[in-house]
Copies of this chain bind each other. A is one copy, B any other.
Amino acid sequence: MQRTRFGDMACSIARTLDVAGEPWSPLIIRDALVGITHFDEMQRDLGISRKVLAERLKWLEASGILERRAYSQRPPRYEYTLTQKGYELCDVLLAMTAWGDRWTAGDAGPPVLLRHRTCGEVTHSEAHCAACGEVLHADDVAFEVGPGAAAQA
């Protein structure tokens, strides 16, 4: 959690960052996606401080991204799983993966390959226009004032 609050800005990018913009959060969500759902598993996998992990998990749960559920009563043991809201956030992770593979992988190639289950090909995520289906890049769009444009403090 950063010092300046992004949640109040009239910008969906800022508001997304407010929820999951802190550097560890996307990696926690990635872990939850691939089945690393227990506190100690995450801590070992990420090398994150236990304190910070506990803070992030609380925040992501409060934000409706993760759900904390006991998978054992005695002894009390918990797992963190993605909600629908959290699951949809993985579209952002797919976009990060595509960019990171393209620009930061270097000669070694990407560390992880994504195989599309339905078509069988190794693939990556590509942004498309939800209306016409064509490939969409940032300068294909014009920005217009939307209905929620009010509270620009």
Contact = CB atoms under 8 A, between A and B. Distances in A.
Counting chain A residues whose Cβ lies within 8 A of the other chain, the interface size class is 35 or more
Contacts of A142: 114-115, 117
A48 interface: yes
Contacts of A124: 130
Interface string A2-43: 101011001111111111011110110010011000000000
Contacts of A12: 96-101, 104-105, 110-112
Contacts of A136: 94, 116, 123, 125
Given A94-B127, A129-B123, A146-B110, A118 B140 contact: yes
A17 B18 CA distance: 15
A74 interface: no
A4, A99, A145, A147: residue with the most chain B Cβ atoms closer than 10 Å:
A99
